[in-house]
C-alpha cells in the first residue's frame, strides 16, 4: 500500500512539474482569475453617426475690372497722384488668357490714359504680334497706375499702395499666363528681389498662375542686343499656349 502511495505521490509531483513548465500555476480554476479572452459586452456601443464634412465656404467671386476701377476711383493713396494727368488702369480683353504687366505709365501713357502707347508700347505690340496674339486679345497693365515724375522708378511705398489693384485685376481676369515686363513687375509680383537678368527666362508662379519674367520693352529700346533674350522668353510663353515659335 505504501508503495502505491509513494508511486501516486511521485506521479503527482511529475504532473505538477510538467504543468508548472507549461505555465499553469494552479490546479483548480481560480474564480477570481480573469478570463483568458475578454468577453464582448452584452450591449455593443452604438456606432456614432458619421458627420458630413463641412461644406467649404464658397470663394467670393472676383470683382469685375469695372468694379476694381470704380474702387480705385480718383485715387490719392500715394504721392504719384500729385503729378499725374490720368490714372492708367489697364487695357485689353477682360477675359484675356495672357496678361502683360509693366512698370508704370510714361508721358504718352499719362496723356492718353492707356498703357504702352509710346515707343516702348509700339515695341510691345510688335512682341505680342510676333507671339501670334493680337493686342486686343491680351490685357496690359502696370504695377503703378500713375506716372512717376520724370519717369523715375516707382518707390516701395508707391508699389505697396498700388499693388492691391494689380492683384484685383489679375484675380478678375484669371489669365493662363502672365508676362512680367522688367524688374519692378517681376519683383513685385514674385516678392523676389533677384535681378531681372537672373529672373528672366525662368517660369515662376504668381498665385498659381505661370509667370514669365522678361525685359521691359523700354530697356530693349536702350539695349537692342538683349532683344534676342527677350524673344527666347516669349517663345517659352508661346509654347505654353501651343503656338509654334
Ligand atoms: S499710383 Fe496707384 S496708389 Fe498711387 S495714386 Fe496712382 S492709382 Fe493710387
75 has a pLDDT exceeding 90: yes
Residues in CB range of 107: below 8 A, 6 or more apart:
118, 147, 151
Q: What is the pLDDT of residue 13?
A: 60
In the chain, where are the structural domains located? 75-240
Our answer on whether the CB atom of 87 is closer than 6 Å to any ligand 1 atom is yes
Q: Which pLDDT score, from 0 to 100, does residue 21 have?
A: 47
Confidence (pLDDT) at 60 = 67
For range 38-54, the mean pLDDT: 50
For the CA of 154, the closest atom of ligand 1 is 1
Report pLDDT for 62.
86
Higher-scoring residue by pLDDT: 49, 171: 171
135 lines ligand 1 (CB under 6 A): no
> What does the alpha-carbon distance between residue 229 and residue 200 come to, in Å, rounded to a whole number?
9
pLDDT in tens, 228-243: 999 999 999 999 999 9
Q: Which of 77, 86, 142, 154 to mutate to test the pocket of ligand 1 (most atoms within 8 A of CB)?
A: 77
Does residue 75 contact residue 145 with C-beta atoms inside 8 Å?
yes
- Residue 88 Cα to ligand 1 middle (Å): 9
**Band of residue 6 on the pLDDT scale cut at 50, 70, 90:** low
The pTM for the full model equals 0.77
pLDDT confidence tier of residue 245, bands split at 50, 70 and 90: confident
**CATH architecture of structural domain 75-240:** 3-Layer(aba) Sandwich (3.40)
CB distance 181 to ligand 1 below 6 Å = no
Residue nearest to atom 4 of ligand 1 (CA): 78
SS3 of the chain: helix, strand, coil, percent, to 5: 45, 10, 45
- Please give the grid coordinates belonging to residue 219: 530697356
The pLDDT mean for the chain works out to: 86
Amino acid at each position: 500500500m505504501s508503495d502505491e502511495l509513494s508511486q501516486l505521490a511521485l506521479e503527482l509531483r511529475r504532473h505538477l512539474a510538467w504543468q508548472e513548465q507549461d505555465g499553469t500555476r494552479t490546479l483548480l480554476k481560480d474564480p477570481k482569475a480573469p478570463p483568458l479572452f475578454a468577453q464582448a459586452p452584452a450591449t455593443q456601443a452604438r456606432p456614432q453617426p458619421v458627420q458630413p464634412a463641412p461644406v467649404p465656404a464658397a470663394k467670393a467671386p472676383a470683382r469685375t475690372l469695372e468694379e476694381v476701377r470704380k474702387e480705385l476711383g480718383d485715387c490719392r493713396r500715394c504721392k504719384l497722384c500729385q503729378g499725374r494727368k490720368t490714372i492708367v488702369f489697364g487695357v485689353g480683353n477682360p477675359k484675356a488668357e495672357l496678361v502683360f504687366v509693366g512698370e508704370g505709365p510714361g508721358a504718352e501713357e499719362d496723356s492718353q490714359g492707356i498703357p504702352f502707347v509710346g515707343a516702348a508700347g509700339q515695341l510691345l505690340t510688335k512682341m505680342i504680334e510676333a507671339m501670334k496674339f493680337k493686342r486686343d486679345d491680351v490685357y496690359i497693365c502696370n504695377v503703378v497706375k500713375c506716372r512717376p515724375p520724370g519717369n523715375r522708378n516707382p518707390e516701395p511705398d508707391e508699389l505697396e499702395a498700388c499693388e492691391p489693384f494689380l492683384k484685383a485685376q489679375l484675380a478678375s481676369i484669371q489669365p493662363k499666363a502672365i508676362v512680367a515686363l522688367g524688374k519692378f513687375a517681376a519683383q513685385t509680383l514674385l516678392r523676389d528681389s533677384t535681378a531681372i537678368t537672373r529672373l528672366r527666362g525662368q517660369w515662376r508662379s504668381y498665385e498659381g498662375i505661370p509667370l514669365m519674367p522678361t525685359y521691359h520693352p523700354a530697356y530693349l529700346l536702350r539695349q537692342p542686343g538683349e532683344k534676342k533674350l527677350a524673344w527666347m522668353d516669349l517663345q517659352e510663353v508661346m509654347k505654353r499656349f501651343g503656338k509654334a515659335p
